[in-house]
């Protein structure tokens, strides 16, 4: 993963972690359920964005490189992506 993308993913994950700590505090403080739910949705969106960036980099680098190593190696990487997409779609 290139440095700019890695930094972006790390920032997204660190922000998510901070928001998770906030959500835990909200629960401990008996805050309004809808406010808590909105914060959970916000964390999910950040995690989704981080995951998509990682998948994007994987396809652009690892999968592309695998095909230069040979068709069977490339096919394995494509199968991994398909399996991941299947999990994502559920």
Concatenating the DSSP letter of every residue in 7-52 gives: HHHHHHHHHHHHHHHHHHHHHHTT--HHHHHHHHHHHHHHHHHHHH
Residue 42: predicted pLDDT = 97
Residue 3 pLDDT exceeds 80? no
Q: How much is the pLDDT for 36?
A: 98
What's the whole-model pTM score?
A: 0.82
**Average confidence (pLDDT) over 11-22:** 98
Domain edges within the chain: 3-89
- How far is residue 64's CA from residue 44's CA, in Å, rounded to a whole number? 29
Which one is the CATH code of 3-89: 3.40.50.170, 1.20.58.1000, 3.90.1330.10, 3.40.50.300? 1.20.58.1000
Q: What is the pLDDT of residues 27-84, one digit of tens each?
A: 999 999 999 999 999 999 999 999 999 999 988 888 888 888 877 878 888 899 899 8
């Amino acid at each position: 993963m290139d440095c700019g993308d890695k930094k972006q993913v790390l920032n997204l994950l660190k922000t998510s972690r901070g928001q998770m700590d906030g959500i835990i505090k909200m629960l401990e403080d008996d805050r309004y359920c809808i406010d808590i739910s909105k914060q959970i949705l916000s964390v999910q969106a950040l995690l989704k964005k981080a995951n998509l960036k990682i998948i994007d980099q994987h396809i652009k680098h690892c999968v592309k490189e695998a095909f230069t190593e040979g068709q069977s190696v490339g096919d394995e990487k494509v199968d991994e992506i398909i399996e991941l997409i299947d999990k994502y779609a559920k």
